[in-house]
Amino acid sequence: MKFLFFMGGMIIPALFSACMVYIGYKHFRQLWGKILFWIGAIIFVFSVLNLLAVRFLLIAAIVWFVLEYWHRKKEADYIQPTIEMKSADEEVYEVAPLFDLRLFGTQKTSDHAYKWNDINIHGGIGDRIIDLSNTVLPGDTAVISIRHLSGNIEILVPYEVEVCIHHSVVFGRFQVFGKRHRKLANQTVTFKTENYDQKGPRVKIVTSLFSGDIEVRRI
């Protein structure tokens, strides 16, 4: 009774917002479904953060971290490393990325030939389109790493390129080469072509989405 009296006013909005998220996800392709989904998600996050139990755990975690840090710092042994300096400086140069970090908007590779550089980006809202048919991949392994909040990812792969994909998503759909089409909810999936470990060129795709679809297809 005491728990319900003090916490009921916070749990009921959380349950209500969870229902909104579920219904909105079911109808996410429609405008009202997207609006319902995001409103429910925002209400749910604030409801959870208002729970007294969560507050207590956060405070306890902060206190434990401070004590642990103080204890380790007090007992730490300091070792002076010996570094052998080379006689000449090593040459390094900056490589321009294919994509800039962008929170909003759609990004895609050039429609004309471009020089390949591995992709490692994160973004907010929008689509990401990568066409590998307009570039020459390296002889070993090309890497595409995308961490994104909401939007669709489309990757076009030539037929002679082997592929391995690791994809994780909270809400979304997954399709690879038109043969695998699945609706995912808080899942991670991994696929690779038959000869990925034997020959190249090959591309390794690592993607993480909160909400959105991913499609990998041949071109």
pLDDT digits (tens, 9 = 90+) for 144-174: 999 999 999 999 999 999 999 999 999 999 9
Tens of pLDDT, residue by residue over 28-67, are: 777 787 888 888 888 777 776 666 666 667 777 788 878 7
pLDDT at position 213 over 90: yes
Beta strand pairing call for 180-192 and 162-176: antiparallel
**The domain containing residue 205 runs over which residues?**
107-218
84 falls within a domain: no
Q: Do 99 and 119 meet the contact criterion of CB atoms below 8 Å apart?
A: yes
Q: Are residues 57 and 138 in the same domain?
A: no
Q: Are residues 204 and 119 in the same domain?
A: yes
89 falls within a domain: no
Cα-Cα-Cα-Cα dihedral sign, residues 41, 125, 186, 219: positive
Q: Give the contacts of 37 (CB within 8 A, at least 6 positions apart).
A: 20, 21, 24, 25, 28, 171, 211
Evaluate if pTM is beyond 0.75: no
**Which residue, of 75, 90, 119, is where some domain finishes?**
75
**Which residue, of 28, 54, 75, is where some domain finishes?**
75
Number of domains in the chain: 2
Q: Are residues 71 and 10 in the same domain?
A: yes
Q: How many CB atoms lie within 10 A of CB 204?
A: 17
157 falls within a domain: yes
Radius of gyration of the chain (CA): 24
Q: Are residues 112 and 71 in the same domain?
A: no
Distance CA 3, CA 52 (A): 11
Q: Are residues 155 and 71 in the same domain?
A: no
Q: Do 109 and 97 meet the contact criterion of CB atoms below 8 Å apart?
A: no
40 falls within a domain: yes
Q: At what angle do helices 2-26 and 31-49 cross, to 10 degrees?
A: 160
Q: Give me the count of residues in the chain.
A: 219
Q: Are residues 127 and 210 in the same domain?
A: yes
Q: Which among 212, 159, 210, 214 has a CA at the least distance from the CA of 190?
A: 214
64 falls within a domain: yes
Tens of pLDDT, residue by residue over 94-114, are: 888 888 888 888 999 999 999
End-to-end CA distance of the chain: 62
**Which residue, of 35, 55, 75, is where some domain finishes?**
75
Q: Are residues 155 and 54 in the same domain?
A: no
Distance CA 162, CA 189 (A): 17
- The dihedral region occupied by 29, where left means phi > 0, alpha psi between -120 and 50, and beta the remainder, is alpha
100 falls within a domain: no
90 falls within a domain: no
171 falls within a domain: yes
Q: Are residues 145 and 48 in the same domain?
A: no
| Of the candidate ranges 3-7, 74-78, 180-184, 193-197, the one whose mean pLDDT is the lowest | 3-7
Q: Do 116 and 177 meet the contact criterion of CB atoms below 8 Å apart?
A: no
